[in-house]
Amino acid sequence: MNVRSQLVMVFNLDKCIGCHTCSIACKNIWTDRQGAEYMWWNNVETKPGIGYPKNWEDQEHYKGGWINDGGELRLKGLGKGPTLLNMFFQPNMPAITDYYEPFDVDYANLHGAPKGDDQPTADIVSQISGQKMEEVTSGPNWDDDLSGSGQYAANDPNLADASIIEDYGRIFMQYLPRLCNHCLNPACAASCPSRAIYKRGEDGVVLVDQNICKGWRFCTSACPYKKVYYNWTTGKAEKCIFCFPRTETGQCNACSHSCVGRIRYLGVLLYDADGVEQALKQPDDKLVEAQRALILDPHDPAVQQAARKNNIPDHWLDAACNSPAYTLVKEQGMALPLHAEFRTMPMAYYIPSLSPVIAKHGDLHEVAKHGLIPALEQLRVPLDYLASLLGGGNQQVVAQSLAKLIALRVWMRAKNLGETADPALLAEAGLDETSATKLYRLFTVASYRERSIIPAQQRESEQPYLRKGGRGFGVLKTPRGGV
Amino acid sequence: MADNRIKDKSCCGGRDWEEFYRNRWQYDKVVRSTHGVNCTGGCSWMVHVKDGIVGWELQANDYPQLSGDIPNHEPRGCPRGISYSWYLYSPLRVKYPYLRGALLDRWQEARAQHDDPVAAWASIVENPDKRASYTSQRGMGGFRRADWETVVELIAASTVYTSKKHGPDRIIGFTPIPAMSMISYAAGTRFLQLLGGVCMSFYDWYCDLPPASPQVWGEQTDVCESADWYNASYIVLCGANLPQTRTPDSHFMTEARYRGAKVVVMSPDLNIASKFADTWLPVEQGHDGAFWMALNHVLLKEFYVDRQVPFFEDYARRYTDLPFLVKLEQRDGIWQAGEHLRASELERSAGMEQGEWILCVSDRDGAIRIPKGSLGMRWDSKPGNWNLDMTDVLDDQPIDCALSLLGDRATSVCFRYEGEQDALREVPCRSIKTVNGEVLVTTVFDLLLAQFGVSRGLGGDYPASYDDDKPFTPAWQEKHTGVGRETLLQIAREWGENGEKSTGRNMVITGAGVNHWYHNDLIYRSFITALLLTGSVGRNGGGMAHYVGQEKVVPLAPWTAVAMAQDWVKPSRLQNTPSFWYIHSDQWRYDRNFTDYFKPETGENIPAHAADVNAKAVRLGWLPFAPHFNDSPLRLMQQAHEAGATDDAAVRAWLVKRLQSGETRFAIEDPDAPENFPRLWFIWRSNAISASAKGHEYFLKHVLGAPNSTVTASEVAKDQVTELVWRDKAPEGKMDLIVDLNFRMDTSTVYSDIILPAATWYEKSDVNTTDMHSFVNCMDAAVPPSWESKADWKIFSMIAKKVSELSAPHFPEPFKDIIAAPLLHDTPGEIAQRRVKDWKQGECEPIPGKTMPNLAIVERDYVNLYNRFMSLGPNIAHLGAHGVNWDADDVHADLLNRLPTRSWGGKTYIDLEDERNVADTLLAFAPETNGELAVRAYQNMEARIGKPLAHLAEGSRNVRISWDDITRQPRRFHNSPVWSGLVDGGRPYSPYVLNVEHGVPWRTLSGRQSLYLDHPWYTSFNEGLPTFKGKLPAAVLDELQEGAQDGLVLNFLTPHGKWGIHSTYTDNLRMLTLSRGGQVVWLNHEDAAQACIEDNEGVELINNNGVVVCKAIVSSRIPKGSVFMYHAPERTINIKKSRKTGKKGGVHNSLARIRLKPTLMLGGYAQFSYYFNYWGPTGVNRDCYVVVRKLRG
């Protein structure tokens, strides 16, 4: 047992309001500078939709991630030949047009325009070329809320039946916030010829070393989630850093901090690194369960012992025991990885969302007969759709999660109205009163410090006595003559 | 497996580079502030400052938790708020003062010729060519940078000139929603009120005021804080898209679902909120009322008739007007519902004081009784009876009151429905003896059942079943809503059962989606009925949660005193903006008689044009109007003195005579005469010419005289108005000067004459409250105002100082001013007019404050205007709001020691120069933040209602909140009788729990929640009882030009958007990037295909009001037949030229104009009494149609 600790983010999509506050929190702090304009380390996509960059889920096009090639895991985008031959050409890499052309506005014209015969307005200007753009034609959230639904939502690769998009009785809409998954089997790291990308031992955060990166951009192609970007000013790859300057001081990530829907949960998971490779060799529809099986019980003394052997400190183990991520991912199996079939073993997890009941929509709108809280079969969102996103095609793991949400609501409604709550209802969905109460609390009254349990990093190994006095005087770059 | 890429902590070297990112996450200080935008979010933000520059903001997460049963508030915020820091240093920022070039030239020329700046200004505006040289360039560019000294002098000169030449009531100021930054709001209003200028309302103008709230509750709006959604077990969103427009609050809704609440979303489009629906009902837009009417039909039948629910009936008896008696009146041989029976009509109570304003019930034995709590008991000389006890006021015996008179006798009564046959339905009734003879009476409950078509075996034209297509059955609603009857039945039964099981935890969350229609009051009354019938108002987790533009200035009384300068001068000169702009932007000229789309029965003397009704309303003291008269009030004062009027009473008598004879006229009667123009317009904290200008193109044409107006409508009012003078040539460019304080170049700055650089929300100190939560927040300066910007408070004090200086030769001594103020709610004026009688038509005598406006005479002192602005005046120690008062001399004395002072004229005052001291003043004098004053205010209220209340404030008696407190953490306010909710013990604020739990009456005629409005005008329009009226038909709106039917004609809807808060943020680069990069409209894919419009293609929207050019978003989530333009864009970003006009297209308001509903203009009659932002017609704008076509090809 090779115990590793990983900081994990869980998203309750059932609560996501698609507001994008998270995206801007991230943008303001990390990517609001030249060369990074088009980067959205955190973005939110409307589903159905094709996302950012366009069609990122289509690995037939982008060839990201890993495949199980006759029992061997191999990067899908790289042939069996030596990397060197491909060094100067990235045929599968998204172009700027796949992201969008970042723009600015000539705002100064509004007060600076000379007297004229029509009202002055501010033109759109490309942030790449500096030239005027007649029209904005793409953006990082272009198909927001089913904008251009016929072109975008209808082409969502997870959607088996595109006719749903034009059917008022069946149409649905949900949101998918995305950031780097800080995978256990990161394709970006594996693909980097410079070995600039590494996964931190202490928290599992995947980083691109800005000193070593040479800008080959293999990572950009290899990441199936398209969450590594190329900074055209520095010539280096950049990506979500999981706000490590915040998390290592015990604060939660900016995106999570700012999450107005309160959908995000942060916590430690312990896993067995030795089992990753085998787990990833399972067929697609077994991947979710295989991945879940790798997650270790932090209360298990054997796990704790093995963890200590790997230098995982006690307060990290304590955090693992209290981890909301453990509850949601492992204990309750509510949260599922995004596109497990890309085989990077992503470490962001999603609780699928409920949806309104289906209806007949002709001259009149008549909703399906349903109980006060609708059952699984009556929901608009097709199970196979969610299974494609979150189940590696396995509908059952998605259905289990939704069933728990529904049972929880029905059970709590009874309690709310002072009626007898039937525990059998919970049992059918695989819950009991304790677990239901725990879930209820996490989804509702749990406060900031209960939703995010992030152990800070100890820094004793970093010469703290010296640093205490010298902090901020430059460790990276010492001024000439020294500090 | 990339095992070898894992760098463990022990892994040596190579990790120092990580400081690259760590260095970014470093800052010098964090300052708590908020966003002063009109969103009611009231979110606390931590602004991070690095190297003296604002780097980013993140939410505060230290809200005190209400209780362990309710989710916490953190982290409030939204994508708009978090992008605010972009504005500070962006090229959109207004960095310096600017003037239109031609104006600067004229000013410099004039100043070279005139030493007195006032004379210099006169030389410009009195010369038509000079004046036109800049007014005709409004909106056409050509700004020039100027210095503060120049612009302040020009503005002050214009102010003094206008007041002297035309009167101070020609100087207006517009700023909305004080709660978001109440000191910044107060800056301009305090200046204006000391001057005698006009403060313009906003809540009614925005059409955010729900008139149904004063109609039913006698209350402007009182709603629960969002945390209380969590207590609801059945939530219907009707016209409110919570995640989009209540972003920081919506988690309470999503979380309530896990507590088992059902969520129903009524929305024509598949909006974000519908993602959270258990049941999504795409009700036809504007017709939500039909759904609710049918729901009420089912509710009455199944929960009141087929079966009785004790909880519901008990609630109905105690808290609604359902048991109150109504007289049946015969007209042309047909019985119909008339007025409430009054105590004055019964022999037993004929001599009762205020008996005309006291209502009656029947007990179950048939005796007519007079319960406590009618409005008359609020204003009689014997306090202690104005409460909700169902006790007879004459003998103090309890009343076992009857909801229904069902028994031996029933009479066939006529019920009239729009678009349907009149129905003769039997109603239980009884004949009783009055001092005027026998009358037939029934109860509101009996009328309600008949109105809804629930027969109880009574005869007449009742529907036979749910499937009978008669008002208001489930079958009937199908044709209006598009929702099937089975679905309606299911929801109705769930609604009733939930109300019963949860004892009234049914909630309707509503907003602009339904409130912006012409008949919004009817839609609201339809779901309020459903709430009242289930006992769901005045309970945590229940009630109507109306969220649009609603605001809550928590420290209301001291704030009103400071903002309206009532610490110095009372009353204030306040204006309801819908009437003002309907008249002054000349939109009335294009409006036809409303009787074409809103038809009254004959019998009442109601004019047929909205402008005529408005003129009548002004003269009868129902609504205010500025300017008041066709001459300056200062000059009238002088003339009165010259005519020998020595005291105020004589002046009033002189003026009444002049008005009666017609020698002096109300300005509203001839608004297009130059002497009646508004002349000088201050704009701050708002986008008054764009997002707030309904009928934007009419503003451009008539108010501004901007050359690019695109109005093509016909002046159909010409031969229709009778009360207003028709002038064949409509004026263009009424305003002499428009001054805009702004931090960004929005549409209003582009069209203003002078732009003053305002500090941003991270550069000034202010106080922020909202009704979405119960905390008091600070806005505070993280950095000093950048470039040459200044805080609003500072800017208006500079103008005030200059006005005082320039006044020395023009207004050397204090002088008198006359204010024509309407009959006010919460004053005896609310029982002034038992009948509508018009003194001008000889129906009664003109008596100020009774049959016509109050004529108040106040003193102005311009030379000391600045001193007064900066000093807390003597009236501050005696405050009140909503009819509740308290004294605070001791607080004042204490504060004089605590805060800096300023002395002049031999006296010492609290110095208001520093906004933080203003904040401390507000917090010290408010019962909500000073517990001792809450005790005193409750004690005062106890005396009037005769019930114990002061204990409600005991727990917070010693708690005082200060400015320093709120900079450290959001602080929760306390129980206060100014508000109807209670917040002690960690309870979320919910309105009317004070009424339900402590017997405090609603401020309505009956003292109860009013399902029946007995004013004869409501009877005339068949709106006495809740009813349904649909959208106005396009054909009578005169908005579509000839041949329009060949194009794609769509209903133009402007819901609140995702990428802005009104227009703020819509120009922010973050928002532009995450959306489509500028103005867009949303079209259904089939509609778009019909006009060959593709996604992201340029389109043009036209109607007779104006033109919009933008891009189209084509989406199947939009219903056919409508086009959405999310409120509110700016016409500044990448706007193309129109095919129709050859000029750049406009903004959403280019396609709209307003129509005023005359039943909302009533006054002097119980809850139909004016107050600022409280009662009056609203600026409805949803009943609007446009033609959409491709911009090219």
The pLDDT tens digits for B105-126 are 999 999 999 999 999 999 999 9
d(CA B1044, CA A328): 58
Average pLDDT over residues B276-286: 97
Q: What is the pLDDT of residues B896-920, one digit of tens each?
A: 999 999 999 999 999 999 999 999 9
Q: Which residue of A has its CA nearest to B87?
A: A107
pLDDT at residue A461 in the model: 80
* The pLDDT value given to residue B9: 47
Query: B1073: nearest CA in chain A?
Result: A139
pLDDT value of residue B408: 85
Neighboring chain A residues of B503 at a CB cutoff of 8 Å:
none
Per-residue pLDDT tens over the stretch B343-382: 999 999 999 999 999 999 999 999 999 999 999 999 999 9
What one-letter code names the amino acid at B348? R
Distance to chain A for B725, nearest Cα, Å: 34
Q: Determine the pLDDT at residue B1127.
A: 93
Residue A466's pLDDT band (cuts 50, 70, 90)? confident
C-alpha B627/C-alpha B580 separation (Å) is 9
CA distance B325 to B344: 14
Q: What is the radius of gyration, based on Cα positions, of chain B?
A: 29
pLDDT digits over B211-268, tens only? 999 999 999 999 999 999 999 999 999 999 999 999 999 999 999 999 999 999 999 9
pLDDT of B558 > 90? The answer is yes
pLDDT at B3: 45
So what's the pLDDT on residue A480?
63
pLDDT digits (tens, 9 = 90+) for A401-432: 999 999 999 999 999 999 998 899 999 999 99
Which of the four pLDDT bands, split at 50, 70 and 90, describes residue B12? very low
pLDDT in tens, B635-686: 999 999 999 999 999 999 999 999 999 999 999 999 999 999 999 999 999 9
What is the SS3 assignment for B680? strand
Question: Do A210 and A197 touch, CB atoms closer than 8 A?
Answer: no
pLDDT at position A80 is 61
Percent of chain B with pLDDT over 90: 96
Taking contacts as CB-CB distances below 8 angstroms, the residues of chain A near B270 are 146, 168, 171-173
Backbone angles phi, psi at B959, to 5 degrees: -95, 125
User: What single-letter DSSP state applies at residue A421?
Assistant: P
The answer to whether the CB atoms of B1114 and A108 lie below 8 A apart is no
Nearest to A158, CA basis, from A148, A169, A172? A172
Q: Is the ipTM of this complex over 0.95?
A: yes
DSSP lists the bridge partners of residue B824 as B1170
pLDDT grade for B11, boundaries at 50, 70 and 90: very low
Can you tell me the distance from the alpha carbon of B656 to that of B673, in angstroms, rounded to the nearest whole number?
22
pLDDT tens, position by position, B992-1009: 999 999 999 999 999 999
Greatest Cα-to-Cα distance within chain B, rounded to the nearest angstrom = 104
Neighbouring CB atoms inside 10 A of B407's CB total: 11
CA distance B865 to B855: 23
Out of A118, A168, A259, the one facing B1144 most closely (by C-beta) is A118
Instruction: Return the residue in B3, B4, B9 with the most chain A beta carbons within 10 A, the one to mutate for interface testing.
Output: B9
- Judging contacts by C-beta atoms under 8 Å, the chain A residues touching residue B498 are 417
Compare CB distances from A311 to B7, B9, B745 and report the shortest one's residue: B9
- For residue B621, is pLDDT > 70? yes
Q: What is the pLDDT of residues A14-70, one digit of tens each?
A: 999 999 999 999 999 999 999 999 999 999 999 999 999 999 999 999 999 999 999
Please judge whether B254 and A14 are an interchain contact, meaning their C-beta atoms are less than 8 angstroms apart.
yes
CA A393 to chain centre: 18
The answer to whether the CB atoms of B1131 and A357 lie below 8 A apart is no
Q: What is the mean pLDDT of chain B?
A: 96
Burial class of B489 by CB neighbour count within 10 A (0 to 12, 13 to 18, 19+): middle
Give the percent of chain A with pLDDT over 90: 90
Residues of A in contact with B534 (CB under 8 A): none
Q: B1096 CB near a chain A CB, below 8 Å?
A: yes
Band the pLDDT of A81: cuts 50, 70, 90: low
The pLDDT, as a whole number, for residue B10 is 42
CB B839 within 8 A of CB B851: yes
Q: What is the mean pLDDT of chain A?
A: 94
Pairwise CB contact (< 8 Å): A246 & B1113: no
What contacts B572, CB < 8 A, 6 or more positions away?
B193, B199, B564, B565, B566, B819
Asked whether the predicted pLDDT for residue A474 surpasses 60, the reply is no
Cβ of A111 within 8 Å of Cβ of B98? The answer is yes
Maximum distance among all alpha carbons in chain A? Answer: 82
Q: Which residues of A touch B1119 (CB under 8 A)?
A: 168
- In the chain, the amino acid numbered A407 is A
What's the confidence (pLDDT) of residue A477? 59
Cβ neighbors of B1015 (< 8 A, separation 6 or more) are B1024, B1162, B1165, B1168
pLDDT of residue A468: 80
Across the interface, whether the CB atoms of A19 and B78 are under 8 A apart is answered yes
Instruction: Give contacts of A228 with chain B, Cβ < 8 Å.
Output: none
Verify whether the Cβ–Cβ distance A107 to B745 is below 8 Å: yes
Mean pLDDT of B847-853: 98
Cβ within 8 Å, pair A25-B56 = yes
Kindly identify which residue of chain A lies nearest to residue B8, measuring between CA atoms. Answer: A201
Find chain A residues with C-beta within 8 A of B8's C-beta: 200-202, 311
Shortest distance between the Cα of A185 and any Cα of chain B, in A, equals 6
The predicted-structure confidence for B1102-1132, as pLDDT tens digits, reads as follows 999 999 999 999 999 999 999 999 999 999 9
Q: What is the mean pLDDT of residues B776-791?
A: 98
Is the pTM of the predicted complex or chain greater than 0.95? yes
Q: Which residues of A touch B17 (CB under 8 A)?
A: 209-212, 476
Using a CB–CB cutoff of 8 Å, tell me whether B12 touches chain A: no
Per-residue confidence (pLDDT) for residue B18, from 0 to 100: 92
∠ CA B563-B36-B80, nearest 5°, is: 160
Distance from CA of B764 to the nearest CA of A (A): 22
| Inter-chain touch A364–B1143, beta carbons under 8 Å | no
Please name the helix (run of DSSP H) or strand (run of DSSP E) that holds residue A448, with its range, or none.
Answer: helix A448-451
**What pLDDT does residue A84 have?**
60
Average of per-residue pLDDT across B607-627: 98
Q: What percent of chain B has pLDDT over 70?
A: 99
In tens, the pLDDT along B631-643 reads 999 999 999 999 9
Q: Are A319 and A326 in contact (CB under 8 A)?
A: no
What are A266-306's pLDDT values in tens digits? 999 999 999 999 999 999 999 999 999 999 999 999 999 99
